[in-house]
Every structure is written in structure tokens, then in C-alpha cells.
Structure 1
Amino acid sequence: MDSRSWMLLEQEDPAWRLPDDLRQRDPIAARDCGWVEQMRPFIRQFSRPGELVLDPFCGFASTLLAAHLEGRAGLGYEIDPARAALSRERLAQHGATAQRVVADDLLRSPPQGSVDLCLTSIPYFGSRWASADPAQLYASADYARYLEQVGEHFRLIRRLLAPGRYCVVMAENLQLDGQMLPLAWDLGRLLAGQLQLCEERILLYRKPPEKLPHLAWRSDRSHEYALILRNQAAAPDPQQGLAVLQAMQAAGLRFAVFGSFAAWLADEAQAWPADIDLLLPAEDAGVNALLAWLQGQGFALSCWQQALRLPVRLADYRGRYYFRAERVLRNGERLRLDLCFELDEGDVAERLLDARLCRGLPVA
């Protein structure tokens, strides 16, 4: 792979193309079956021989076949059992029997240990393929639920991905009922809440052009995006974080610092954390006052990658534990606050009462 921001895919190699008999046996005619050729450069660039490549939506196992050809181990998840069987048959035809396909959803049967690269083509929203499995992304009835399900998968993928390693997601903006749905761009925003968004490559597929009538706008959709992300948070400026917390305290907002940022306050020799964890009193008025203050300071507010609309009712967010506030300055600096209003262990109110001052800030 070189530094060009685009890759031209000229022709699918017949040796690695999905056989017609497998395509004909698929209930949706091999929709979204990617090329082996589009995956191989990313495998070479972002993994080493012998390492493990994960495809959480493996379909017909194009990624796993590419991993086999590049000397990597492959682990794929395909929620449809019939499709999983076809993908195993395809791999067996190429002698790639060491590659593993799990006929289940990643969230229900996560692997043990870590993976070295996640490489996948996202299942596209808007398929008319009916499925009885509510976890099937093709079966999502509305776009908001679809994005929520995608976010759930990548929260797990972030935990599986070894530190510093990469995740590459192929996606295309869609045309549904004559309207453009910016799926690739929405995914970029969504996944950037889990991983560090590093770059993109635009994959181009050669198609013969057709002349458009005057004022016509529809294109041949002969490109897609490869979003390149890394499991590595960008560390913010410590002074920027301290200044925001001091301003919050001066404004009379109630909070306490905990987690890795509290440890850094106690000992600056420790590494500066990627974000700041705060405990908030679990009552609506105080939380809304703090969120409104942050919004006024240029922070974007979200909960599990979905934008917050103020005022919030904490009762509507039980089980989600925290809100996120993130500010991006024009020089690219980022500051992220995770605002926790409930914990798995211990009571938030008790920890707030027990908070002590450390460098002038309350620490729980």
C-alpha cells in the first residue's frame, strides 16, 4: 500500500471470485460480497504474518480467504447459519481450512483473547432480506436502531483489539428510495467515539460511464470508503483538562474526579490519561446544569454515540452509566470527559460524600 488516498480495483481475479454455485445458493444472491483483492493490501499493511485477523461480519469469508493468502490466521462471524456453511465451503475449496467461521453474532459468542486486526465490510442498511434474528443488521427496521447495533459491536471490538492495532471498515453511502443516506460518514462519526479515526482510502471500481440527462444527479456508485481506525486514544493537553475542571468548580457545578485521571492528579509521574472520568450526583437538575455548562463551552454531548438533547431524565438512561462530552479545537486538540451517574460497584452519592481535595479538585 502506498500513500495515495485512493485504490483502483480493476478486475476481480477469477481464481478468488465467489463461485457461481455458492452465489446461487445464497438467499440474497451474495449481496455485499466483497473482493478478495480489496482486502489483501490492508492485511499486508496492518498485520504481520501469523497474526489474527477478525471479520465480525464475514459473509462469504472474502476477508478470511485474503488472510489465508497472506499467511495470517482468520476468525469470522456470520450470523446466518446457511451463509456460514457456504463460507466454510468456499474456504475449503482453497485449502484454507485453518480459517475459522463462527455461525453466530459476535456479541453472543465473543472470542477469548485479543485480535491483531479487525477488517470488515459493514452489512448495509436497507436490505429487503427478512430475518427472524433481531441481531441481524440487515433486518434493522430503522436507521437509528441499525447504528445502535453497529455501535454495540464496535464497543466489543475495541476491547478485543490489541492496543495500538488497527480496525479497517469498508462502507458506502447509500441511495434509498431516491435519497442519499450518508452511511459511510455516519459510521465515521460513530466509530470515532470508540477508536481513533486515522485516515481513509477511497476504493474505486471501474465501470463504463453513462451520459446523464440535464439536471439528473444519480451516479453509478462505483466507489466506497475504507475507514482506518486505531485502538489508541489521542492524549489531550493536561493543562487544557485542568482548566476546564477548575472552571466547572468555579461555576459551582458538583462533580468528583475518579479513575485514571484521579491517579494522575495524585502522582504526575503516571501517564496522562486519554480522557477524564467524573462522578456526578444522580439527580436530574445537577446533571442538566453541568451538561448545559459544557455545551456552552463547545462540548458535544452524547450517550453511546447518540447525541443528547437537553434536558435529560436520568431514568431514561439507566444501565448506560455515563454521558460523554467531547470538544475538538481548531488546532485538532481534543478533550473528552466521561460523566458517570451510576456504577456497577458502590454508590455514587457515598463516593461523592467521601471525596477529598487533591490539587484543589474533589477526588472520589
Structure 2
Amino acid sequence: MTSHSWLMLDHEAPRYRLPDELRARDPMGGRDCGWVEQMLPFVRRFSRPGDTVFDPFAGFGTTLLAARLEDRLASGCEIDASRIDLIRERLARHGLAHGTTLLHASCDALEDSALPPFDLCLTSVPYFGCRWTGAQAASQLYQSQNYAQHLDGLRNVFHRVRTGLRDGGACIAMVENIRLGERVLPLAFDLARILGSLFAMEEERVLVYPHEGHDSESDAHTDRRHEYALVFRKRRERIDLQTTAALLDALRADGHAFTLFGSFSRWQQDPQGTVPADADIRVDGDPERLDALLRWLREHGFSVTNWGDPVAAPLHLDTYRGRHYFRADRVDANGALIRLDICYEQ
């Protein structure tokens, strides 16, 4: 992979292309099938031979085929049984069915033991607004009834991905913004926000394709001439320790009561120990006091989120019951990060 911020894809090699007879068996005619050439550079750069590459939206096995071609192990989840069969047949035709694990499920529904750890997550996400004509399933994101439901489904899947991804591993998602009628939905940017709540963003690539026109059979239109590859990493981000300590002092001075616990508290007691990635504070769950704290943080330049979603002001705490904590982030002009995790439920 070059050092450029884009990747030019000129054509799809016939030897890797999904065969027409397999494409014809798919409920959507295979129109959402990506290119092996799209995935190969990312497999090569972000994994090593013998690593496991995982695709939570396995689709037609494009990522899995790219992984096996590069001597990686491959695993994937696919909720549609007919596509599971297509993946198996496609890999078998290449003589690469071995070294592949396929799970007929949405990965967020799996127990930890059912999904072994993996070294790279590489996927193209399903698009909102497609006319899914295949088997109905509660977790089939192609049949999401509204955009918020679709984003919730993506969030649930990538939360599970984070659990299975090894520390230091990359999570890479291919995604485009989409047009529904006269409305453009910023799916790429909304997904980046979701992934940013789970991983550290490392880079982005723009994949550029030859233009083949829009597919008139789909309500959701994408500009296939370009696509984003969002590259994130599962790693601990470095926070500014001294600025964070000063912020905690300022909170106390302004009358906000809290208990500091976790890694930042341990680091203050032993500065030679593990460097914390955030400061954890526990506060009273009283809505008025909590709202006052979040308002103070906003006034001091913090963005406040809950599971990646912005928290609206004034706070309606019942909306967030069961989610246990808020996250407050601030990035200063010098790039310094301050991050607080504010626990309000036991």
C-alpha cells in the first residue's frame, strides 16, 4: 500500500470476481459485493501471515478470500444463510475453504467463547435503505426501518468487535455516504463517530473506482466512484496528565463532588506505574447535580457523549439509564487530550 491518502482501483480481476451464477442466486443480485482488490492492500499492511482476519459482515466472503490469498486465517459472521452457502462455495472454488471459520449469526449476539480473538477486523458495512428481499431476521441491518436503528445496529456490532480484537489490532471499515431521494445521509461520518468512541482513529483512505452508474433497483444510491476506508486501532490513547489533574482540581474548586478511582487515581499515587488513558470519576446520580457537572464541562470546551452519541442539554437522565457512564473529551489546540469517564450508576 502506498503512502498516498487514496487508493486507485482500476478494474476487478476476473479470477477474483464473484461468479455470475453465484451472484444470480443472491437476494440482491450481489450488487453489494466488494472487490478483492479493495481488501488485499489492507490485509497486507495491517496483518501478518498466520494472523486471523475477521469480517463481521461477511456478505460474499470478499474479505475472507483476500485474507486466505495472503496466507491469513479468516473468520466471519453472516446473518443470511444463503450467503453463508455462497461464501463456502466461492472459497472452495479457489481451493481456500480451509483455514476459514464461518458463523451464521450477528456477531453481537455471540458469546465470547464462540468468537475467538482476531488480529484485524476488515469489513464493508451494510447500507441503509436497500430493498432486502432475502430471509427476514431481527439483526438484518439491510432491513432497518429507520436510520437511527441502523446506526444502533452498527454500534452493537462494533462494540462486540472491540471485545474480540486483540490489543493493537486495526479495525477498518469501508463505507460511503448515501442518498435517499433528495436526502443525503452521512453514513461514513456517523460510522466514524461510532468507531471513534471505541477505538483510536489512525488514518483514512479514499478508494477511487471507475464509475459504472447507479443501480436503479435500490432506494439507496451511493457514488461508487469513491468510498472511505476508515482505519482505527485498538490502543490506549495518551492523555495530558498534568492538564487532567488541573481540571479535576478546578472541578472540586467549583463545588462539584466526585470520587476519583481507577487508573488515574493509581497513577497519582505511583507516577512510575501504568500511564492512564482517562480519569474515572464517580458522581451522585442526582439528575440536577449531574446536569450541572455536564454543563460545566461543556462550558470548558468538552464534548459529552454516551456510547458515542452526543448528550443533549438539559440532561434527561432516564434516557441513559443502564448505560452507566458519560464520556467527556476535550482536545486542545496543541493536540493534548483530556478524557473523563463519569460514572453515575453503581
TM-score norm. by structure 2 comes to 0.93
Residue 280 of structure 2 aligns with which residue? 277
- Deviation sequence 1:303-329 (CA, Å, 0-9, x none): 111111122233332211111111122
Aligned-pair distance for 1:220? Answer: 4.9
Matches within 5 A, 1:150-229: 150-207=154-211, 220-229=223-232
Query: Structure 1: which amino acid aligns with 2:107?
Result: L
3-state DSSP of counterpart to 2:280: strand
Please say if residues 129 and 142 of structure 2, whose CA atoms lie closer than 8 Å, have aligned partners that are also in contact. Answer: yes
Identity level (%): 46
Q: Which structure has the bigger radius of gyration?
A: 1
CA displacement at 1:233 relative to structure 2: 2.7
* 2:60 corresponding residue in structure 1: 60
Partner of 1:17: 17
**Does residue 241 of structure 1 match 2:244?**
yes
Structure-1 residue corresponding to 2:328: 325
Equivalent in the alignment of 2:84: 84
- Mapped to 2, the partners of 1:127 and 1:254 lie a distance apart of 49
Q: In the alignment, what sits opposite 1:358?
A: none
Match of 2:146 among 129, 142, 145: 142
Between the aligned partners of 1:174 and 1:290, the Cα distance in structure 2 is: 37
TM-score, with length taken from structure 1: 0.89
Report the CA distance shift for 1:114/1:208 in structure 2 as closer, same or farther (over 3 A).
Answer: closer
Structure 1 residue 112: deviation in Å? 4.2
Q: State the shift of 1:38 in Å.
A: 0.7
CA–CA distance in 2 between the matches of 1:220 and 1:188?
18
Q: CA deviation at 1:4?
A: 0.8
Aligned length: 336
SS in 2 for 1:107: helix
- Between the aligned partners of 2:104 and 2:324, the Cα distance in structure 1 is 31
- Alignment-derived partner of residue 103 in structure 2: 102
Kindly indicate whether the alpha-carbon contact (under 8 Å) linking 2:172 and 2:231 is maintained by their aligned counterparts in 1: yes
Task: Compute the displacement of 1:208 (Å).
Answer: 7.1
Query: 1:219: Cα distance to partner?
Result: 9.1
Q: Shift of residue 336 of structure 1? A: 1.4
State the partner residue of 2:343.
340
2: CA distance between counterparts of 1:332 and 1:136? 39
- Structure-2 change in CA distance of 1:220 and 1:144 (3 Å): closer
CA RMSD of aligned residues (A): 1.8
Q: 5+ residue gaps in structure 2?
A: 214-220
Q: More deviation in 136-145 or 197-206?
A: 136-145
Question: SS of 1:226's equivalent?
Answer: strand
Identify if the C-alpha distance between structure 1 residues 208 and 56 changes in structure 2 by more than 3 Å, giving closer, same or farther.
closer
Larger mean Cα displacement after TM superposition, 83-92 or 38-47: 83-92
3-state DSSP class of the match of 1:25?
coil
Once residues 15 and 153 of structure 1 are traced to their aligned partners in structure 2, the CA distance between those partners, rounded to angstroms, is 31
* Alpha-carbon contact 2:108-2:159 (below 8 Å) kept: no
What is aligned with 1:260? 263
Query: 1:291 is paired with a residue of what secondary structure?
Result: helix
The residue type paired with residue 94 of structure 1 is H
